[in-house]
Structure 1
Amino acid sequence: MPARVRFVDVPATPSSTYSGATLASSPGPMTPPVLVPSPLPTKSYFASPVFSAGSPLPRPQVQINNCLAHLPGVGALLHWDLTQECQTAQLRVADGWSSLPSELLAMPATTPKLGSLTIVCDGFPWAITVLPWKDAAWSPAPYVTVGDVLYSVYRALRREVTPAEEKEIRGTGFEKCVQAAYERRWQHIADPNRRMEEYKKGVKRVDFLCQKRMFQGLSVVPEGLPAMNLPPGVVWRLNVSAPVARR
């Protein structure tokens, strides 16, 4: 029996940092990014910890690299249409926009450095596990880099949706939204050969973002994902929005 598509329940994430997380100090295996089907976790709430003189000090904050962060009132420093390759992303600079330098792609995605992290998104029923990419052109590292995050998100969104996954949304308003995103995506390809090729491939996971296809940065999910045994500090929310004119 095929696995059912279930939407990840993502709590509100007002910050791009997290303190008090329990983190693995050693990096994960050097393997390509893995896509993990995510069951719906049960929400739970925890009381604030009380520290006594004998209590251990809180762990250092986990901070996402500024170029990946969701910044309140700003959104993101990156301009990236998620239907396009990650090489098309541009960085906001003082006098406009710039392509991403290899030095930036090779920087750690988080401080402290993590061997893996997981990305979830509202309305997107898959979690994306990001691991160090051993063949990275931006200089491979034993920890997750900025380039690893961008490439893993791109690869995850480009995966084709299975018939069983499409069946889960059939007959719903969400199906119409996904179908409209698919049609817009292939119809806007200029090259006729590539356009027909993309049409034949059908719906992809990026189409589940519907009209909200612009990258707006990552913010921490304070509760983690208990259903996947992922502690706070290693789970990040992908914020997205509909396209707007660049300033």
Structure 2
Amino acid sequence: MTRKVRFSDKATVHHIPAVPPLSHSPPSPASSGSLPTPPNLPYTLPGSTPYPFVLPPKPAAPLRHQPQLHAALAGPQPNILYDCSYSPSHLSILNRHISPRFASESATYPPTTSMTISSPSLPWTLRVTPRHGVISVSDVLYAIYDGLRSGIYPQDFESMTRDNQKRVRKAYENRYRRMRSSTAALEKANGVKRVDFLMGHTVFMGLAPTRNPTHWVLITSK
């Protein structure tokens, strides 16, 4: 029996309003005074040396232009459980171990108003924009979900290798078959979506930074 893959020629993007971001307190200034005495560490120089120890190399200072991600978004181990194929509205049920207000907190520190997200598995870039103020955790998660719910064009599918086409088709079939009977038929009729290009790797594992402080890479797994 020949399998058919359906495609949607329309993509609908949904947004939710963002709640004012979480405030961040500036770090306290370093205390003044004399330099601390180095600890007696067991690091020795090879051969004869007048020094009892040497200090380990000083760690490189972090890039000042690179924002810090919220713990719910920082890969590869974000502190939330989330499957990108489901709406973020289910987050409060799966993540009772953290405050339900986390979704309204700022996605980065310092806050930002512009973000783009890419994935090695996707030929598209997802754009994140705030509904109000700065980008929140919720804005990021809904941008990922809405972006992955968009339909694809036949040429997107046809440009892949045959092996990857099989994996995408399998992900598409598994996605609509696991749904309730009342919605499975509709999902099947809507055809392959961008989320199927993840080939079943839909568990959110956070975002990874790039050289561009406003661009991040989506990390997913099975």
Q: Give the shorter-chain TM-score range.
A: 0.5 to 0.7
Task: Tell me if structure 1 keeps the 8 A contact 2:14–2:146.
Answer: no
2:177 counterpart (163, 187, 208): 187
2:68 counterpart (56, 63, 72): 63
In structure 2, distance between residues paired with 1:91 and 1:193: 23
Gaps of 5+ in 2: 1-12, 16-62
What's 2:10 paired with?
none
Matched, 1:110 2:90: no
In structure 2, distance between residues paired with 1:63 and 1:87: 24
What's 2:215 paired with?
235
User: What is the Cα-based RMSD across aligned positions, in Å?
Assistant: 2.3
What displacement does 1:100 show?
Answer: 7.0
Q: Deviations over 1:62-81 (max 9, x none)?
A: 1011111114xxx2211111
Runs of 4+ with deviation above 2 angstroms: 58-61, 89-92, 99-103
Residues paired across the two proteins, number: 163
What displacement does 1:149 show?
Answer: 0.3
Residues 1:155 and 1:32: Cα distance change in structure 2 (over 3 Å): closer
Residues 1:32 and 1:196: Cα distance change in structure 2 (over 3 Å): closer
| Matching of residues 102-181 of structure 1 within 5 Å | 103-133=101-131, 141-169=132-160, 172-181=162-171
In structure 2, distance between residues paired with 1:64 and 1:216: 13
Matched, 1:201 2:177: no
Structure with bigger gyration radius: 2
Task: Tell me if structure 2 keeps the 8 A contact 1:89–1:99.
Answer: no
In structure 2, distance between residues paired with 1:112 and 1:119: 18
Q: Percent identity?
A: 28
Q: Deviations over 1:4-61 (max 9, x none)?
A: xxxxxxxxxxxxxxxxxxxxxxxxxxx977xxxxxxxxxxxxxxxxxxxxxxxx7454
Gaps of 5+ in 1: 1-30, 34-57, 134-140, 223-231, 243-247
Q: 2:111 is paired with a residue of what secondary structure?
A: coil
Q: What residue identity is the alignment partner of 1:67?
A: A
Q: Deviations over 1:142-185 (max 9, x none)?
A: 1111110011111000001112222212x521101100000000
In structure 2, distance between residues paired with 1:61 and 1:233: 5
Residues 1:103 and 1:89: Cα distance change in structure 2 (over 3 Å): closer
Output the TM-score relative to the length of structure 1: 0.61
Q: 2:220 is paired with a residue of what secondary structure?
A: strand
Of Structure 1 and Structure 2, the greater strand share is in 1
